[in-house]
């Protein structure tokens, strides 16, 4: 397959090198376009007030890989690849392997997920891959699973462009419990800003805090489910499906399908019943 790979940890990150080299060694045509430095937690930010530069990268990846380092964000990198650097659209966009989890509401801030989502926006199925540890350095099990997943998608393509958000537990391969289809959970953080003073006496703030993990789950809103034209058996399966936050605790690889359409179905049903007054015309 023709694969485009990006990330948010930068061109020299071990995660993207392991992923790209593994897929290239398996015979896939791999192109890498990623930030020239770490751009974590940039979300889906785009560079519109400055130029975006891209330079070829040599001697970092497998010899068959064409690689560029870009001054832009992760989403910029995929846009640039699709709009300027690639001769033809890829079959699949991959992002990662991220150093750290992208579970639950992390996906709203994640540059890794945003790079993959940019592929979906352009009509290309995508995969975001994360190793759920900031200290673990063994990315090969995640890369090997990515190879299996890519091969499966080549044989059984998704019916529509979808983002598969994959999180891999930081344990030896023989300790991984398996792979599990999951729902997106809710992962909250206790935010704390540390107030500091720089050498010139100016005050600045450093965002800190700690994760509270899953504190509630609104994904099973029955009103939202009732709007889906889905067999009852599938709805029952969905209700029992664990969240990504729950499954990763049990050392499962989690696979969560995501989309960019963020319409709240239950909220739309609620608004339908509103009887809002018509705003007066402006003279």
pLDDT in tens, 96-118: 999 999 999 999 999 999 999 99
Q: Which residues are 255's β-sheet partners? A: 166, 181
Output the pLDDT for position 40. Answer: 92
CA–CA separation, 59 and 65 (whole Å): 10
Give pLDDT, residue 258: 96
pLDDT at 4 over 60: yes
Q: What is the pLDDT of residue 209?
A: 66
Tell me: the pLDDT tens digits for 14-56?
Answer: 999 999 999 999 999 999 999 999 999 899 999 999 999 999 9
Q: What is the pLDDT of the chain when averaged over all its residues?
A: 89
pLDDT, residue 44, reads 94
Question: How sure is the predictor about 206, in pLDDT bands with cuts at 50, 70 and 90?
Answer: confident
Dihedral of the CA atoms 114, 117, 121, 125 (nearest 10)?
Answer: 160
Domain ranges for the chain, please list them. Answer: 2-183+242-258
Q: Is the pLDDT of residue 189 over 90?
A: no
Q: What is the mean pLDDT of residues 83-88?
A: 96
- Answer yes or no: are the C-beta atoms of 142 and 179 closer than 8 Å: no
Q: What are phi and psi of 31, to 5 degrees?
A: -120, 135
Q: Identify the CA nearest to 102 among candidates 263, 251, 242, 256.
A: 256
Half-sphere exposure of 79 (CA within 13 A, CB side): 15
If one compares 87 and 191, the residue with the highest pLDDT of the two is 87
Q: Assign 194 a pLDDT band (cuts: 50, 70, 90).
A: confident
- CATH code for the structural domain at 2-183+242-258: 3.40.1210.10
Contact 28, 1 (CB under 8 A): yes
pLDDT of residue 273: 82
Q: How would residue 221 be classed by pLDDT, with cut points 50, 70 and 90?
A: low
């Amino acid at each position: 397959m023709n694969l485009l790979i990006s990330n948010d940890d930068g061109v020299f990150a071990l995660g993207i090198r392991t992923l790209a080299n593994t897929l290239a060694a398996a015979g896939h045509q791999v192109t890498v376009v990623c930030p020239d430095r770490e751009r974590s937690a940039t979300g889906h930010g785009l560079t519109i007030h400055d130029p975006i530069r891209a330079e070829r990268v040599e001697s970092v990846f497998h010899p068959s890989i064409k690689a560029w380092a870009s001054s832009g964000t992760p989403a910029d990198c995929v846009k640039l690849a699709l709009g300027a650097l690639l001769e033809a659209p890829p079959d699949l966009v991959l992002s990662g392997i991220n150093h750290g989890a992208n579970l639950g509401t992390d996906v709203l801030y994640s540059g890794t997920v945003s790079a993959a989502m940019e592929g979906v926006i352009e009509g290309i199925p995508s995969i975001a891959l994360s190793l759920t540890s900031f200290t673990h350095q063994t990315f090969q099990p995640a890369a090997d699973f990515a190879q299996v997943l890519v091969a499966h998608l080549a044989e059984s393509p998704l019916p529509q462009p979808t983002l598969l958000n994959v999180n891999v537990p930081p344990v030896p391969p023989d300790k991984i419990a398996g792979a599990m289809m999951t729902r997106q959970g809710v992962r909250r953080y206790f935010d704390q800003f540390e107030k500091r003073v720089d050498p010139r006496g100016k005050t600045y703030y450093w965002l800190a805090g700690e994760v509270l993990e899953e504190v509630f789950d609104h994904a099973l809103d029955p009103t939202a489910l009732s709007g889906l034209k889905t067999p009852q058996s599938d709805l029952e399966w969905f209700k029992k499906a664990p969240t990504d936050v729950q499954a990763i605790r049990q050392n499962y690889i989690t696979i969560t399908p995501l989309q960019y359409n963020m319409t709240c179905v239950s909220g739309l049903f609620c608004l339908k019943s509103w009887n809002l007054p018509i705003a007066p015309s402006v003279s």
